[in-house]
Amino acid sequence: MVGVDLSVKMLEIAREKCQAYPNVTFCAASSSALPFPDHSFDMVVSASALHYFDRPEVSLREMRRVLRPGGSVVIMDWCKDYIFCRLFDIVLRLIEPAFQRCYTQREFHRLLASAQFDIQSARSVRIDVVWGLMIATAGDRRAYVSFDV
């Protein structure tokens, strides 16, 4: 398992939390330029990070690039379909330099489709009356065919 974050501070926190797991490594990198060979991972997970990606289309293509044939990407992020997420989107754009934007579920699905992902499952989860998340699991749209001779 490899944890990736642009923030060295976040990686330090993650290392502390994962000390008991020797098979976890960490890497400082941008989601839009992952330092891994093509087809390196069976699964890519992004949790509450999409709203920080300055080029989400590029980041999603990078996730697809490092995903093995038959692998899956799982992405969870704030859902702008909920009122507090809309308000946070406005406020955070003004006060948080790293924040980029939140997405509605429809916009999120378009981003996945533009990166050549097929959505396998998608749902939104209401946290309370005004806040929620969206979660999607998707696979690579490219067809892989293998012939044994």
pLDDT-derived band at 145 (thresholds 50, 70, 90) equals very low
Task: List all residues 6 or more positions away from 75 whose beta carbon is below 8 Å from its beta carbon.
Answer: 45, 46, 47, 50, 108, 112, 135, 136, 138
Is residue 145 domain-resident?
no
Quote the pLDDT of residue 149: 46
Q: Are the beta carbons of 2 and 34 closer than 8 angstroms?
A: no
Quote the pLDDT of residue 147: 46
> Any alpha helices (H) in 25-149, and if so which ranges?
56-66, 83-95, 105-114
User: Do residues 73 and 99 both lie within one domain?
Assistant: yes
User: Do residues 52 and 123 both lie within one domain?
Assistant: yes
Is residue 119 domain-resident?
yes
Q: What is the pLDDT of residues 85-128, one digit of tens each?
A: 999 999 999 999 999 999 999 999 999 999 999 999 999 999 88
Is residue 24 domain-resident?
yes
Domain of 69: which CATH number? 3.40.50.150
Q: 99 is in which domain, residue-wise?
A: 32-140
pLDDT at 55 over 60: yes
Quote the pLDDT of residue 130: 79
